[in-house]
Structure 1
Amino acid sequence: MKTARIVSLATAVPPHVISQADAASFATSAFGGRFDGFEQVAGVFMTSGIRRRHAVRPIDWYMQPLGWPERSAAYVEGACALFIDAARQALGKAGLKALDIDTVVTVSSTGITTPSLDARVAGEMGFKTGVERVPVFGLGCAGGVSGLSIAARLAQSRPGSNVLLVAVETCTLSFRSDQLTKANVVATALFGDGAAALVLRADEGGLAEIESTAQYTWPDTLDIMGWSVDAEGLGVIFDRSIPPFAEEHFGPAARLMLERSGLSLGDIDRFVCHPGGAKVVTALERALSLPQGLLADERAVLEEYGNMSAPTVFFVLERAFAKGLPKRTLMTAMGPGFSAATATLLAA
């Protein structure tokens, strides 16, 4: 059976740019004088490794009183625009039209809409009426790699069919001036919005072959990362410090996931990791016994775009493709659950 291959990859960001200095000023206005612990956590704006990020709304919008309806409307409008932008670019690079797509896998965890995003954009995109829609919710930052696994299996099950994977997140809509918590301040320092789209097909050629995929969920870790839901919208949950957890636990999990495919870390020529934050990137280097500073593309993406959740790892992969993949690349991401996802890619 032919394995699935990545035929094309494209990324997109919304028009509004928020500098880290502006984000810090926003946080000071929103939390300073109201949250006793703000001064202790405010240093994250300097240590996050982020210079700027993109958002679906200008920064002044987030200072207004906002509830679930306003945030949901912004999610639908912003996520649909990002979906269309990234998907059209990916289709163009693959030499395809929307009518050529047989299956659409949409990964998004930063908003809720029914009908789902793929249905909302179907008319403007020009998808055929028989397109198979697979919306995926709740995977968070691991959604890019996990979504790739889902899309690859669907492509492999129907050789020659075209599968479009779109990961789109509007993380900035979780900026909450009403929640006086350390986690909320950290989210304000980290999050950005963006999208990535890939075309996959079980055929010859392409940019890379998807050799294997795997997931791992740590027991009793539901409190590490997630969303709270209330009348004001989605609120971020960071109940444990993720960098030390990653440094201690990610390495053994990555080895176990690779072993399922008869591989080891020694077989990996390059790493493409989701950059959740500067400290997370450093923790991953230590967990994987990599030279300090090796994950330079991860740091560069984080600096320019912030943590966009699921699509971020594809921004890193896009840079890896531009430089040329070595024989075998390991993609990794961690997300709520608390879980990890990996995929190994072979150079085309």
Structure 2
Amino acid sequence: MDADPTILSIATSVPPHRLLQGDVEMMAPELFDQRRSNIERLMPVFQNAGISQRFSCVPLDWYREPHGWQERNQLYIDHAVDLLERAASEALMKAGRQAKDIAAIVVASTTGIATPSLDALILNRLNLPSHVQRLPIFGLGCGGGVVGLGHAATLARLQTEGDVLFLAVELCGLTFRQGDMSNSNIIAAALFGDGAAAMVLGRPGSRGPRLGPAGLHTWPDSLDVMGWNVCDDGLGVIFSRDIPTIVRQELAAAIAGFLAHHKLERSDLDGFICHPGGMKVLDALEDCLDLPRGNLAAAREILREYGNMSAVTVLFVLQRMLAGGLSGRYLMSALGPGFTAAFQLIEA
């Protein structure tokens, strides 16, 4: 374990516009053509989503009008950098580190495109060293928080001097497209929120919760389960209704395979840190893990208070559980496009 990197700090940030679920529900019939969509049949999803509020980088009225890809992406860049700066500054302060102490930066995000990448855009904001190693990660969706943390931990494991800054930001709300009448877009309107998270990882020998092995399981022929369609007016969400079924029927075997690879069993775990994709997915997770309903309490709390922030959400869950006195060996997990399950072992 002394060879493992550690979590020195974690911090989060959200944009200023708080969207109450009731207000979003009231607006939904205006946004979806009742003749071309299933909005009337799907309206219960707003109450059944387990969400009381979410945060958005744009006010609720912004969603009433159509917006093009260029406008959306510029909003993504501007707000993503602001949120990352806030979260990263707080994480550095909590860790007792300065910008000069950072040897590498990893940034995970999939809700917009930036070239130069977000890690380059945040470089001067944080006054990071000009020689800092940079790794932008795109396309992992909800799995990006766990996969990105694994890559950041690998970099931290290799450091002889300096620590690693891991950042994740998602502005899921900007992907809502007024002209998209698909069921997936309606469900996304009931689920998605915006947020960012930052972690400072210490190299081996530092104190704090330890980051053990990470891994992935990608199901064959599953590219249509989750992802984005790139459209003229933005990113169109892809959600398969089969996700809860896949979780119930197949995730336990994937977890067992990952643990066996590292000579572990379920009985060696003290608990789970899970990405809350939605209420149905949380129920399916508890079923496949043989947990009592409501056992993934922190995940349900974060979903209720912040919605689904894609890659960022599981990092909010981790922060909540660490603040609650996390102790023992935990498996962190999230599901993302591919269709992929991402795993990270954490020992506190």
Q: What TM-score do the two structures reach when normalised by structure 2?
A: 0.97
Q: Structure 2: how far apart are the matches of 1:36 and 1:120?
A: 39
Which residue in the other structure is 1:156 paired with? 157
Query: Is it true that 1:204 corresponds to 2:202 in the alignment?
Result: no
Give the conservation status (yes or no) of the 8 Å contact 2:109–2:141. Answer: yes
Which residue in the other structure is 1:11 paired with? 12
Query: Is it true that 1:131 corresponds to 2:146 in the alignment?
Result: no
Q: Structure 2: how far apart are the matches of 1:176 and 1:241?
A: 23
Offset, 1:61 = 1.1
Q: Trace 1:207-286 onto structure 2 (pairs within 5 A).
A: 207-286=208-287
Which stretches in structure 1 are left out of the alignment for 5+ residues? none
1:1-48 C-alpha deviation (Å, 9 max, x unpaired):
721111111111111111111211232111142434211112110111
Give the conservation status (yes or no) of the 8 Å contact 1:207–1:321. Answer: no
1:71-105 C-alpha deviation (Å, 9 max, x unpaired):
01110011111110110111000111112211000
Q: Structure 2: how far apart are the matches of 1:271 and 1:134?
A: 27
| Count of aligned pairs | 347
Q: Structure 2: how far apart are the matches of 1:294 and 1:22?
A: 29
SS at structure 2 position matched to 1:310: helix
Which residue in the other structure is 1:183 paired with? 184
Q: Structure 1: how far apart are the matches of 2:206 and 2:326?
A: 14
Which residue in the other structure is 1:293 paired with? 294
The 1:36/1:327 distance shift into structure 2, 3 A limit, reads closer
Which residue in the other structure is 2:195 paired with? 194
Q: Which letter maps to 2:226?
A: M
Q: Structure 2: how far apart are the matches of 1:72 and 1:60?
A: 18
Q: Structure 1: how far apart are the matches of 2:80 and 2:35?
A: 32
Which stretches in structure 2 are left out of the alignment for 5+ residues? none
SS at structure 1 position matched to 2:311: coil
The 1:36/1:227 distance shift into structure 2, 3 A limit, reads closer
Deviates further, 233-242 or 149-158: 233-242
Which residue in the other structure is 1:39 paired with? 40
Give the conservation status (yes or no) of the 8 Å contact 1:224–1:242. Answer: yes
Give the conservation status (yes or no) of the 8 Å contact 1:49–1:303. Answer: yes
SS at structure 1 position matched to 2:28: helix
Offset, 1:205 = 4.2
Q: Which letter maps to 1:168?
A: V
Give the conservation status (yes or no) of the 8 Å contact 1:2–1:159. Answer: no
1:166-216 C-alpha deviation (Å, 9 max, x unpaired):
010000011111101000000000000001111112233433001211111
Which residue in the other structure is 1:147 paired with? 148
1:246-281 C-alpha deviation (Å, 9 max, x unpaired):
111111111111111111111110211000001111
Which residue in the other structure is 1:328 paired with? 329
Q: Structure 1: how far apart are the matches of 2:277 and 2:37?
A: 26
Q: Trace 1:294-309 onto structure 2 (pairs within 5 A).
A: 294-309=295-310
Q: Structure 2: how far apart are the matches of 1:212 and 1:49?
A: 32
Which residue in the other structure is 1:69 paired with? 70
Q: Structure 2: how far apart are the matches of 1:98 and 1:63?
A: 41
SS at structure 2 position matched to 1:311: helix
Deviates further, 333-342 or 231-240: 231-240
Which residue in the other structure is 1:168 paired with? 169
Which residue in the other structure is 2:88 paired with? 87
SS at structure 2 position matched to 1:102: strand
Q: What TM-score do the two structures reach when normalised by structure 1?
A: 0.97
Query: Is it true that 1:338 corresponds to 2:339 in the alignment?
Result: yes
The runs of at least 4 aligned residues of structure 1 exceeding 4 Å deviation read none
Q: Structure 2: how far apart are the matches of 1:240 and 1:33?
A: 21
Give the conservation status (yes or no) of the 8 Å contact 2:5–2:206. Answer: no
Give the conservation status (yes or no) of the 8 Å contact 1:108–1:143. Answer: yes
Offset, 1:150 = 0.2
Q: Structure 1: how far apart are the matches of 2:61 and 2:274?
A: 32
Offset, 1:160 = 3.9
Give the conservation status (yes or no) of the 8 Å contact 2:103–2:161. Answer: no
Q: Which letter maps to 2:84?
A: F
Q: Structure 1: how far apart are the matches of 2:300 and 2:330?
A: 18
Give the conservation status (yes or no) of the 8 Å contact 1:217–1:339. Answer: yes
1:273-295 C-alpha deviation (Å, 9 max, x unpaired):
00000111110000111111101
Q: Structure 2: how far apart are the matches of 1:256 and 1:227?
A: 29
Q: Structure 1: how far apart are the matches of 2:325 and 2:296?
A: 15
Give the conservation status (yes or no) of the 8 Å contact 1:34–1:180. Answer: no
Q: Which letter maps to 1:49?
A: G
1:208-248 C-alpha deviation (Å, 9 max, x unpaired):
00121111100010000000001101110113331122111
